[in-house]
Amino acid sequence: MSVHNDDGSSLHPLAFVSPNSKAYVTELHSRIQFQHDAKDLATFIINPSMANLRNSSNGERPIHIAARVGHLSALRLLYRRGANLNATCFMGNTALHLSISNNNYWCSRFLIRRGVSKECLNNIGIPAWAGADGTCLFPSYLKALQTATTNKMVAVALELLLKTPDRVNLDEYLQTIENHKIHFPHLWRKKTKKQSRRVKKLIKRCTMIEKRRLNLDKAQIDKDEITAESVFEKIRNSMNDKLEKIIHVFRRFDTDNSGEIDRKELLYGLRDLNVRLNGEQIKLFIETIDPNNDGSIAFFELKQALKKKSKDDEDKEGKNKKRKKSSYEKLPPIIVTNNNDKTSPLSSATKKKKHSKKKNSPKNNNKASDRKQHQYRTVILHEDIGGPVPIKFDDGAEKTSPYFDDDAWNNTLPGIGIKSTTP
């Protein structure tokens, strides 16, 4: 039921309600949220106190609602009526936090030009340029083109898309242009169409490069499961597995050399890596690195998380280690000379090596391998070296060594332990 004045004009719908009441605040915020016309909102917002009405449950003001839904005309009206653009809600978020979180470029641009700081932190230490939850490091400007209403706005949106073609899907871009031409045909002049074709070519080229790099088609890329390991692997692959380079990027922001960085410095480092991560991947990265949500991340934890590799890589590394161990576990061959042989053990060893090179042919491979198995034995000396010494092998065989000194023995049989026992 509407109330009328004596002259027949309709009164304000909340003319008899106190501006400080909960009903007035709810009505004003809901009208901004559903993007009522600026003329309608002007009947509610007539002075600075009404422009700064706060919701008692979450501490949000009209500027927060307008920034979240992208209501640019409401933001302009609130600014003219004395709204505090730097006001924060109970979570510590400014209107810029919310506009960037919802990818409302024109509202963000308006707030930054009116003096709202991009470095303002909320309660969990996230700066305004990263959004309310820190997942807006690499924004897409396709929505800026969707909401452009003037020739200048269209030109700015296309210029932004030219700089970031790798963040845009080609099908979404073409659909956006078609819809925008239907609603604003007068904005698409010859120069604008030419610029849009340039953007299309760049986007197409970037998508082809991405598909080649991943060796996957578009459907598989979209269906790819997002896990913490896949995010870390993507960062490692983009940096060519140079872990020290990744750590150096984050360490640059550790100004006090404490070995830890806060949430803001972590986001700076992640942005400087310039890895194409979407919002979900960035959120998962932050939750994995900082599970306690206390805002401080140690370099040791960051390094350990980035070092983790997939099970396939670990299995491959395990197999390679086993192969290396098996090759080094074998002892060098034991050379035994007869008492009648006057040559030194060192010379006999070199003769045997030369002799084995000649005899190693493809036909005698099996015989040579059988011979090598018998040559690798453990030697234990039961008497002090200096005369003929009985040498006992693991298989029970015993032979007598020639006369030689410690150096000759050690040089001939490297790696064999010598034990002298008293009778």
pLDDT tens digit sequence for 302-345: 877 777 654 445 555 565 555 555 544 444 444 444 444 444 44
pLDDT (mean) for 31-42: 93
Please state the domain extents for the chain. 22-130, 142-222, 228-312, 330-412
Residue 380 — very low, low, confident or very high, per pLDDT cuts 50/70/90? very low
Question: How many CB atoms sit inside 10 A of residue 319's CB?
Answer: 10
The lowest-confidence range among 37-51, 245-259, 270-284 is 245-259
Averaged pLDDT of the chain: 76
> Given 3.40.640.10, 1.10.238.10, 3.40.30.10, 3.10.20.30, which CATH number is that of 228-312?
1.10.238.10
pLDDT of residue 150: 95
Task: State yes or no: pLDDT of 374 exceeds 70.
Answer: no
Report the C-alpha gap between 411 and 417 in whole angstroms.
12
CB atoms within 10 A of CB 254: 15
pLDDT, greater one: 284 or 108: 108
Confidence band, pLDDT 50/70/90 cuts, at residue 258: confident
| Residues β-bridged to residue 261 | 297
In this predicted structure, what is the pLDDT of residue 337? 45
Per-residue model confidence (pLDDT) at position 13: 67
**Across 63-80, average pLDDT:** 97
Cα gap 345→342, rounded to integer Å: 9
Lowest mean pLDDT among 61-65, 195-199, 241-245: 241-245
Task: Answer whether residue 363 shows pLDDT above 70.
Answer: no
Other CB atoms within 10 Å distance of the CB of residue 401:
19
pLDDT (average), residues 198-222: 72
Highest mean pLDDT among 119-133, 301-315, 366-380: 119-133
The region of weakest confidence among 125-129, 163-167, 265-269, 327-331 is 327-331
Q: Which residue has the higher pLDDT, 27 or 382?
A: 27
Counting residues of the chain whose pLDDT is more than 90, the rounded percentage is 40
Compute φ and ψ for 32, nearest 5 degrees. -70, -40
Tell me what pLDDT residue 127 has.
95
Residue 289 or 184, more confident: 184
As beta bridge partners, residue 297 has: 261
**Confidence label for 48 from pLDDT (cuts 50, 70 and 90):** very high
The reported pLDDT for the residue numbered 239 is: 76
CA–CA separation, 267 and 128 (whole Å): 11
SS3 for 52-84 is CCCCCCCCCCHHHHHHHHCCHHHHHHHHHCCCC
Is the pLDDT at 385 greater than 70? The verdict is no
Taking the model in full, what pTM does it have?
A: 0.68
Instruction: Specify the pLDDT at position 146.
Output: 96
Q: Which residue has the higher pLDDT, 185 or 5?
A: 185
What CA–CA distance (Å, rounded) separates 419 from 16? Answer: 107
Q: How confident is the model at residue 291 (pLDDT cuts 50, 70, 90)?
A: confident
Of 223 and 209, more confident: 209
For residues 338 and 274, the model is more confident at 274
Q: In this structure, what token pair is assigned to residue 232?
A: 């870390």
User: What pLDDT is stored for residue 153 in this prediction?
Assistant: 96
Per-residue model confidence as pLDDT tens digits over 90-102: 999 999 999 999 9
The stretch 205-220 carries a mean pLDDT of 66
- Lowest pLDDT segment from 6-15, 239-248, 297-306: 6-15
CATH domain 22-130 topology = 1.25.40
401-418 pLDDT, tens digit each: 444 444 444 444 444 444
Which of 165-169, 213-217, 409-413 is predicted least confidently?
Answer: 409-413
